[in-house]
Amino acid sequence: MIDKIEKYIIDNNLIDNGDTIWVALSGGADSTCLLHSLLGLKEKFDMTVNAIHINHMIRDDEAIRDREYCRKLCEELNVALEIRNIDVIRFKDEHKVTLEQAGRIIRYGQFEQLNGKVALGHNKNDHVETILMNILRGSSSEGLKGIKSKTGKYIRPLLETSRAEIEEYCLDNGLDFITDSSNLNNEYFRNAIRNQVIPLLNDITHKDISDNLLRLSRIISEENAFIETIADMKFNDVVTVNQKKAEIDNLKINDIDKVIAKRIIRKAVLQVKENLTDIEHMHTLDIYNLCRNNLTGKKVNLPDNISAIVQFGKTIIYKEEMYDEIDVILNIPGETEIAGRKMIIRTTLQDHFEKQSVKSNVQYFNFDNIENEVHIRTKNDGDVIRPYKGNGTKKLKKYYIDRKIDRFKRNDLLLLAEGNNILYIFGLEYGKEYIPNQDCKVLKVEFLER
């Protein structure tokens, strides 16, 4: 079987000569076989083979058993082993995710810290299970490709090796392995697919469905590669990526075939989220419908705090974050430091002023019309402004909408305010009643870099 694994490694360009490989070692048959077989190929690829074991601290005695088994195995095989102990349940509770999600986030977080490639023990059965799970989830064609042989630093040398072949390899080579009791718990989706659904489908069809599902996966992969090529060609014309958000031009994407448009949307999500974990076809379709309907203010929420909202002809995909609210009383006269903005505001009182652009770092205001403390801050509910060239008073929110200021910039813009009355929107607008004249005392405000 080791020849089969070697061929798969070469055919899929998984390992280069001189690589450092970290085997994700759980103590199960898959990872035990993986470690042993890579050691058998060590000289062939002139590689360094290490192991890492993540103790999730869930199953008490079993977790200790797994850890000690991995320690003993690596001692026998003369392999360097790193053990990481992480409280997965605590992480799950703190981050409001499922136990499976917490385990995956922690594992990959630890793997990212390693220098070198990480070899994972996914096998042919896992591949089939993933394809079927994605079918049942209503996945896009991307999901029907199943598990990739290589993703960044992660490689899967056993992906065409069945679980039966792996267990036979362990038996032939005198390798003990551990069976995780949680693998028998059919409350987990994958376990139910493995232990109940696939055996039932095999009984109904009177054959092993694995080969048919893998054939489907290969066909989808070939067609998917063509779609990817077209989507890549059109992406930059339709999507603008900046400041951790992706802006889709709704008019342009609505002129593109739906299949290609949805693939472009997934690529846009990837730019913001940095992965497509838990992004299902329904999420892509929700964003596609936002683009089609093009109704400003309409919004959908995606997993991991990702959202999409329509703003003035664009659908913006972004990560929901808490913006730093700023509210500092301006020292008049004097200097005021704005933490987090690398800014100092210097104010003086004088009898004259000079005409300035609204974008200038020096501004002048009618101090006689200021009756209360002046704050430098971000927006508040109830804010109003009398635009310099407008008539009457507007709610700040309405002013922003009329000026087509997107919600991201609104949260970030600094204001000079007296209560809810706006003196100045930084770089954008004056409050009419605060414009200085020849007879008033003048407040000079300088915005200086710290």
Q: For residue 266, what pLDDT is reported? A: 95
Q: For residue 311, what pLDDT is reported? A: 84
Task: Tell me the domains of the chain and their CATH numbers.
Answer: 2-208 (3.40.50.620), 223-319 (3.30.465.60), 327-449 (no CATH)
Q: For residue 231, what pLDDT is reported? A: 96
Task: Evaluate if residue 335 carries a pLDDT over 80.
Answer: yes
Confidence band of 389 (pLDDT split at 50, 70, 90) = confident
Task: Evaluate if residue 115 carries a pLDDT over 70.
Answer: yes
Task: Evaluate if residue 149 carries a pLDDT over 80.
Answer: yes
Q: Do 431 and 385 touch, CB atoms closer than 8 A? A: yes
Q: Which of 52-56, 390-394, 418-422 has the highest mean pLDDT?
A: 418-422
Mean pLDDT of 254-281: 92
Task: Evaluate if residue 49 carries a pLDDT over 60.
Answer: yes
Confidence band of 160 (pLDDT split at 50, 70, 90) = very high
Confidence band of 322 (pLDDT split at 50, 70, 90) = low
Mean pLDDT of 98-116: 89
Calculate the average pLDDT of the chain: 91
Mean pLDDT of 20-44: 96
Mean pLDDT of 4-12: 95
Mean pLDDT of 208-237: 93
Q: For residue 189, what pLDDT is reported? A: 86
Q: For residue 28, what pLDDT is reported? A: 93
Q: Is pLDDT larger for residue 125 or for residue 93? A: 125
Task: Evaluate if residue 407 carries a pLDDT over 80.
Answer: no
Q: For residue 323, what pLDDT is reported? A: 59
Provide the whole-model pTM.
Answer: 0.64
Mean pLDDT of 209-233: 92
